[in-house]
Amino acid sequence: MIAIRLLRFQKQYYSIVLWLILPFVLTLLLSTVPNKTIPIGIVDEDNSDLSQRFIETLQQQKAFTVIETNYATALQQLESHQLDSVFVIEKNFKTLVTTQQKARLLTSISSNLSLFHESTSNIVLTTALQLVGQYATIDVIKSMQPDTAIDSNALIAKSTAYMKEKSILTTSLHMTNQTAAHTISSSFLIWSLFATLSTLLASTWLIKEHNTALLLRAPFSNHTVTSYFLYHLTMYMVLFFVMDCLALYQFANISWANITILFAFRLTISCLSACLALCCHSIIRFYQYSLLLMTLLLFTSGLWVPMPYQLQLLQPQIALLQQSITIWLPISLLSLVLLLKRKERRYVNH
């Protein structure tokens, strides 16, 4: 079988190499320079001098790209994954800070792809509590020197400069090796779409070899038609999985967890592509169904149109980013086995 497959690979060398490297190359071409900062949205509903000072403090964080906007725009950008997180400064922010009240200073909003929400929330909350602590210190000084006029703004400015100089209460964001190893970038979503398209286009061999010549050779072969298809399908899947691991190294991070999820994704799209090819009797019809399937996957991937959470559970690409396995994996495996068994019975009857 290996010799037969190698002979066929020699005849289809250029097309096979094209489908293998196409997702990797297209993703490299379409991927922009990765943003080294985390985009967060700030909605200032207090519009006070203290809230503006708070925003300016956040803008000094090298890890953030702070975008000040309104509530509706912030939610729209969050749903389209332009922002990692959104923080709303409540209307009574200044009053709560100056009276040292910590409840409901901010409201944080995240999406299903807010990879850094927990870290950014800690930094934003620390910055807000820093303001509360400064005003609490001022109240203590005023109580100790009731007859002395104290300029609160000047005292806060001096304390802020001192804390910045001495790195007191300074919070920085960085990813440890363990955290980075389990993080999959959004560029991987683009790659996964191209990988699905490439897998579909490469699956035309199932239609080409599902012909009368194979039917005539089947009774004289040592292998059943089912084992023949499964063996060659496995060889294709192994070749693609090697390129998948290379893409994982380039666009995400290598870890056993990511490799496991990637293998589940490869198995899912390979089985789905094989099922679609086995159900089609012509390549033209297969291309039509493939185009329809890719259009559906593209619009449900969340790149442009936000999708409800229930529909995201059925999306293989989103499952890859969320490091989960969709229900399509067992369905595609079972469907492939049933289709091959059905084909086997047809060949036996002939």
> What is the tens place of the pLDDT at every residue in 116-160?
777 788 888 888 888 777 777 777 776 777 767 666 667 666 666
With CA atoms as reference, report the closest residue to 332 among 316, 309, 320. Answer: 316
User: Does residue 181 register a pLDDT over 50?
Assistant: no
pLDDT at residue 293, rounded to an integer: 92
pLDDT at residue 165, rounded to an integer: 59
pLDDT at residue 246, rounded to an integer: 92
What is the percentage of the chain residues whose pLDDT exceeds 90? 22
Residue 303 — pLDDT band, cuts 50, 70, 90? low
pLDDT at residue 209, rounded to an integer: 72
Q: What is the mean pLDDT of the chain?
A: 78
pLDDT at residue 88, rounded to an integer: 93
Which is more confidently placed, 264 or 99? 264
- Direct distance between the N- and C-terminal alpha carbons of the chain, in angstroms, rounded to an integer: 23
With CA atoms as reference, report the closest residue to 264 among 322, 304, 182. Answer: 322
pLDDT at residue 211, rounded to an integer: 58
pLDDT at residue 35, rounded to an integer: 52
Which is more confidently placed, 136 or 274? 274
User: In this structure, are residues 51 and 97 in contact, taking their beta carbons and an 8 Å threshold?
Assistant: no
Q: What is the mean pLDDT of residues 177-206?
A: 75
User: Does residue 24 register a pLDDT over 60?
Assistant: yes
Q: Which of 193-207, 221-235, 336-350 has the lowest mean pLDDT?
A: 336-350
User: Does residue 29 register a pLDDT over 60?
Assistant: yes
pLDDT at residue 177, rounded to an integer: 42
**Cα→Cα distances 281→27, 52, 198, 338, Å:** 32, 65, 20, 17
What are the residues facing 339 on neighbouring strands? none
With CA atoms as reference, report the closest residue to 49 among 8, 89, 100. Answer: 89
**Cα→Cα distances 342→68, 194, 203, 337, 350, Å:** 60, 31, 19, 9, 13
**pLDDT tens-digit profile of 52-105?**
888 988 888 877 889 999 999 999 888 887 888 999 998 888 888 878 776 678
